[in-house]
Amino acid sequence: MITTEEAYLINKVYVLIYSVILIYGVKAKTIEKTEMILLPCLMVGTFSIYYILQHSSFQDFYLYDALNCLSIVVVSLFVHNERRVNHSKSVYFIYGLLLFKFLMYMVIYRVRVIIYDTDAPIMWLINTQSVLILLCDSLIVLILSLQVSKWKLRFMQFS
């Protein structure tokens, strides 16, 4: 089970990595538009977890987190459609991970908030959910980093 302080720390690391990738994308000569659209959405989504942690009650916390995952996909899809940019396979995979996170949040909401009163009998489920969410986030960062490593900076054209 992840405490609030640990969640803050992990989110800080993710926001930092997304910022680095975004700055790299701005400086790069050749970029993929599809990842550059998804990156700010992910950054805002990750950052908004601070707000959710501070201002939501225990009853609504998982619902807001699930909505956060959905909203990232919705905004990204809307911008892709509006700018007529084709999704890459990696972006579809990231959408899949976000939707999986959404389902995990909804399951834990149903089980932890509605069905059970105490955490003791479902500790294994809470731990599994934490691990899976962390795994999904790490995979998203890893996939984005791998995609970004294909981009070239401006000064690389002279080499």
Partner 1 sequence: MEITIYAVFLILIVALVIVRKREVKRINERNYLQAYFDIFKHPVIERSDRITAWERKSYNQAYPETYVSTPYSSSSEKIVSIHKAI
21 or 68: whose CB is closer to partner 1? 68
Residues 85-104 that bind partner 1 (CB under 8 A): 86-87, 92, 95, 99, 102
Q: Number of residues in contact with partner 1, rule: CB under 8 A?
A: 19
* Nearest distance in Å: CB 159, partner 1: 26
Q: Which of 20, 23, 74, 134 binds partner 1 (CB under 8 A)?
A: 74
| Residue 67 near partner 1 by CB under 8 A | yes
- CB neighbour class for 37 (10 Å; exposed up to 12, middle 13-18, buried from 19): buried
90: Cβ–Cβ under 8 A, 6 or more apart, which residues? 35, 143, 144, 146, 147
47 or 95: whose CB is closer to partner 1? 95
Residue type, 52: I
Question: Which residues of this protein are in contact with partner 1, per CB under 8 A?
Answer: 63, 66-67, 70, 73-74, 77, 80-81, 84, 86-87, 92, 95, 99, 102, 106, 109-110
